[in-house]
Amino acid sequence: MKKFFSNQGIALLMVLWVLMLLTVIVGEFCFAMRTRVNITRNFKESTEAYYIAIAGFNKAIEQIILQQMAPRRVVTVETGSSEAAAKTEGAPDWRVNTDMPPVDFGGGAFEVRIENESGKIDLNLADRDLLRAMLGGLGLDDAQKDVIADSIMDWRDADNNHRMNGAEEDYYQSLPVPYHCKNADFDAKEELLRVRGVTPEIYYRRLAAVVTVFPKSDIEKRKQRANKKEFDYNHLNINSIPMELWAAFPGMTDDLVAGIAAFRAEKDFESLQEVIDIVGVDVYREMAKYLTLQTSPYFVIRSRGKMPDSRIMEGVTAVIVYDIQAKKRYQMVQWTDDIDPHQAWRAHPAL
């Protein structure tokens, strides 16, 4: 009898071990299946969000072309005369350099931001005065501004003759980790981090948001030879200037920048006089030489898409140039399956 109960206990123990093993196996199976379901769902939502972002990009292209073919009516402060045809009646109002609300599409929603490069400082074409101007309000003294401005110009020119405060091959080769001076146009704004005087703090605090590398100087020269419409890259469009750059201008205070931002949140500037009304005559006089209403043919489009009840968001960033002679009225300059990390987006409930 004792042996019977002993065998019975061993059998019970083995059953318990088998049940425990089966529980672990079933648990692992359920976890693996749940993981695969989540991966599949995430892939599905990611794909849907990506193509919704593509739809937003295509819609932005349509609006840019419509507005370039029938631009707004603007008035100059000097003459008071109209410089452009009125906006086509009934056309959607997708304003540049403003946050637009999400647009429902394909069961989800896309959010698009269009920026015209006319409000940014072109590293390849801006003159020394404008390069120094972008460094205002960063706590830099005149000597530091001179070093950065001259070094940018030395980096992009074709020779090895440095300016008074600049840097050429000899300087960069003397660094602990030497590298070459490019002596050619900037291909990416991140190249600034290799230029003498530009620290990561200066770059990420200000320059990343206010500079562009489009177009390059050789492209602009070809346009001039072809007698195409020229854009003055030493002036900035008042409807496209980032708030970080407004803050750099002489005499600008936080309150004046806030006034500019509040105006732009509601509508576009139609005349330079409207800027004077906000900042005053004295401050405007200091910045007037930098300002214009002219628009660059270069646009940055940032589009991101999202499905409802999903944390997954996908986006694209593209640079295009409006060209009326092109078959599609535009040409693609740059494409990235991502959103520029330096771009601050407004948070919308739908996204």
Six token digits for residue 241? 């200037």
Query: Is residue 118 domain-shared with residue 168, that is, in the same domain?
Result: no
Say how far apart CA 340 and CA 188 lie, in whole Å.
13
Q: Is the same domain home to 325 and 189?
A: no
Structural domain includes residue 92: yes
Q: Do 143 and 35 share a structural domain?
A: no
Return the percentage of the chain with pLDDT > 90, whole number: 65
CATH classification at residue 151:
1.10.40.60
Last residue of a domain, one of 173, 194, 209: 209
Rounded Cα distance between 260 and 247, Å, is 10
160 belongs to a structural domain = yes
Residue 5 has pLDDT above 60, yes or no: no
**Distance, CA of 156 to CA of 215 (rounded, Å):** 13
134 in the same domain as 68: no
Angle formed at CA 159 by CA 156 and CA 162, multiple of 5 degrees: 80
56 lies in the same domain as 44: yes
Q: Is 163 exposed, middle or buried (0-12, 13-18, 19+ CB in 10 A)?
A: middle
User: What are the pLDDT digits (tens) for 135-151?
Assistant: 999 999 999 999 999 99
Contact 145, 196 (CB under 8 A): no
Question: Three-state SS across 197-258?
Answer: CCCHHHHHHHHHHHEECCCCHHHHHHHHHCCCCCCCCCCEECCCCCHHHHCCCCCCCHHHHH
Average pLDDT over residues 28-35: 77
pLDDT for the residue numbered 218: 75
Same domain, 147 and 226: no
CB 320 within 8 A of CB 331: yes
Decide if 282 is inside a domain.
Answer: no
Tens of pLDDT, residues 73-107:
444 444 444 444 444 444 346 898 988 889 999 99
> Do 60 and 15 belong to one domain?
yes
Q: Residue 80's domain spans which residues?
A: 1-124+213-235+294-351
Is residue 190 located within the same domain as residue 132? yes
pLDDT of residue 229: 59
Q: Are residues 119 and 172 in the same domain?
A: no
Tokens of 10: 């061993």
Q: Is residue 276 part of a domain?
A: no
Structural domain contains residue 143: yes
Find the DSSP H helices in the chain: 2-69, 128-133, 142-156, 169-173, 200-202, 208-210, 217-225, 243-246, 254-266, 273-279, 281-287
What are 51-75's pLDDT values in tens digits? Answer: 999 999 999 999 999 888 876 544 4
d(CA 61, CA 326): 14
List the strands of the sheet with 298-306, edge to edge.
Answer: 103-105, 108-116, 298-306, 313-322, 330-336
For residue 129, the model assigns a pLDDT of 96
Per-residue DSSP letters for 69-83?
HSPPP-B-TTT--B-
**Would residue 285 count as lying in a domain?**
no
* DSSP-derived pairing of the beta strands 291-292 and 236-237: parallel
Burial of 119 (C-beta count, 10 Å sphere; 0-12/13-18/19+) = buried
What is the C-alpha to C-alpha distance for residues 56 and 268, in angstroms, rounded to an integer?
22
Short-list 52, 67, 36, CA closest to 107: 52
Within this chain, do residues 27 and 85 fall inside the same structural domain, yes or no?
yes
7 shares its domain with 93: yes
Specify whether 54 is located in the same domain as 188. no
Q: What pLDDT score does 80 carry? A: 43
Distance CA 315, CA 111 (A): 9
Q: Considering its fold, how many domains does the chain have in total? A: 2
Q: What digits encode the pLDDT tens for the residues 251-293?
A: 999 999 999 999 999 999 999 999 999 999 999 999 999 999 9
Q: Which residue has the tokens 């350099």?
A: 97
